[in-house]
Amino acid sequence: MKTENIKETVKQKYSSIARQSVLSVNNNCCEPSGCCGQLEFSMIGDEYFHVEGYNADADLGLGCGLPTEFAGIQKGHVVLDLGSGAGNDCFVARSLVGDTGKVIGLDFSEEMLEKANLNLQKTSYNNIEFIVGDIENIPLTGSIFDVVISNCVLNLVPDKHRAFEEIYRVLKPGGHFCISDVVLYGSLPEELKEAAELYVGCVSGAILKDDYVNIIKQPGFKNIEIKKEKPINIPDSVLTKYLDVTGINTFRQSNNGIFSITISGVK
């Protein structure tokens, strides 16, 4: 899939999720009958209900981890959330930075930003801001953030080298990132690699774990550490759309796997 097609596919899907979540009666988007379908997100996310700052209206079930848990966010920090969606991780980060810090959420879906701002209007916070932008070309000046977080989004970015260069650029010297994302051990069958459904579910765009870490090293990040790792299972109901019985069995019996990781690094 070409870069421009990937971006458009992802943008359309997430915009659709934002629109449907507004219409959802209970805002539980990722129930089986919700807007995410069988594959996307509900099978790979972490529970937020126990987390301080949790905002149920902002939780569309789109994450694959809990990056704020390991991000070392402190009072007064300035935090950037890449692919902030409806604002879930931004509200959690706000509870950590307090009144003296600031949180900026960046997303390229205007519908998601509208959803996030609606959620923000329900609070009394004046130090959260949501802006439109591309992670490969962050529309902010350099060296201004203490922490950059992201939750199951960098995997969707076609040029991951550029994305981590941009993260490095906007972080202050000594600042750090903490990102939850999806990586591979081994490779996916070719039939799955181009599947748009899997791509917007953060699976088809996955790259090998070692390659992911090497990309992070290239801008100059140090002290790279995997904080958490867990396997992800693609249901047979999804695999049957792309593979025959033999293909599914071969995939299941291989040593290949898909994992959610939470990883950090320091500028």
Residue-range domains of the chain with CATH: 3-266 (3.40.50.150)
Tokens coding 178: 């903490």
CA dihedral 160, 165, 169, 175 (to 10 degrees): 80
pLDDT at 201: 53
Give how far Cα 180 sits from Cα of 71, 100, 117, 147, 260, Å. Answer: 10, 26, 23, 14, 7
Question: Which residue has better confidence, 253 or 134?
Answer: 134
Question: Which residue has better confidence, 176 or 198?
Answer: 176
**Which one-letter amino acid corresponds to residue 24?**
S
pTM of the entire predicted model: 0.84
Average pLDDT over residues 29-58: 61
Is the pLDDT confidence value at 252 over 90?
no
Is the pLDDT confidence value at 138 over 90?
yes
pLDDT at 195: 64
| Mean per-residue pLDDT over the chain, rounded | 84
- Confidence class for position 18, pLDDT limits 50, 70, 90: low
Chain segment 71-118, per-residue pLDDT in tens: 999 999 999 999 999 999 999 999 999 999 999 999 999 999 999 999
- Confidence class for position 37, pLDDT limits 50, 70, 90: very low
pLDDT at 261: 94
